[in-house]
Homo-oligomer: A and B are copies of this chain.
Amino acid sequence: METALLSRKDQIDHTATVLFRARGFAATSMRELATALGIEAGSIYSHIRSKEEILHRICFRLADQFFAGFEDATQNNTLPIADSLRRAIESHVQVLTADVAASAVFLHEWRHLSEPARTEFLALREQYEAGFRQLLINGAETGTLYAPDPAFASLTLLASLNWLPTWYAPGGKLAPADIAHRLANQLLFGLEVREN
């Protein structure tokens, strides 16, 4: 097979991602997935070992992308912290919007991973969140960010970002870069009218 841009395995991952997002992992049957691919249920197992393996790949691939983006965004530590934070926010939004379906699965379906994958996944997520938290802590300590409770603030910050896959649709009015910019502004400046 030369014509296909994606290997059959990648097609399976992609189609499964869309279905997992729309119906949830548990409510998506292998027969539904097969139908969406235009083949029979048993045929899928020529390419994968189990249903959960698909979920595993989706979740950990996204985790890799979030980490790589964050590293890239924050590696220049001569930048003001607010700028690093802005870059990290933009990177997060970029990963989210590059594959909304996969992001939604990453955010909501990881609980259906069985051990030990589930624990590994949660450790990665915690590590990633710690990166944001540390940015806010550094900013608060050096007086460049206003964050009386950096741990709390980082939760709220990631919350605003992670809700994005529930409403973002590619090709909409706002491009991903616009969204990232507005989100960063709103989170940094707030809704209150500025006096100065």
Indicate if the CB atoms of A164 and B153 lie closer than 8 Å. no
Which of the four size classes fits the interface of chain A? 35 or more
Indicate if the CB atoms of A193 and B152 lie closer than 8 Å. no
Q: Which of A94-139 contact B (CB under 8 A)?
A: 108, 111-112, 136, 139
Distance in angstroms from A84 CB to nearest chain B CB is 13
Distance in angstroms from A183 CB to nearest chain B CB is 6
Point out the residue from B27, B145, B163 that lies within 8 Å of A163, measured CB to CB.
Answer: B163
Whose C-beta in chain B lies nearest to the C-beta of A194?
A: B146
The quantity of this chain's copies bound in the complex is 2
In the complex, besides A152-B174, A152-B182, A156-B163, 9 extra interface pairs with C-beta distance below 8 angstroms are A85-B191, A145-B192, A146-B191, A147-B191, A153-B186, A159-B159, A159-B160, A194-B196, A195-B196
- 29 of the cross-chain contacts (CB-CB < 8 Å) are A23-B111, A24-B25, A24-B112, A26-B27, A27-B112, A85-B191, A108-B108, A144-B193, A145-B192, A146-B191, A148-B182, A152-B174, A152-B182, A153-B186, A155-B163, A155-B167, A156-B163, A156-B186, A156-B187, A157-B191, A159-B159, A159-B162, A159-B163, A160-B163, A163-B163, A188-B190, A189-B190, A190-B192, A194-B196
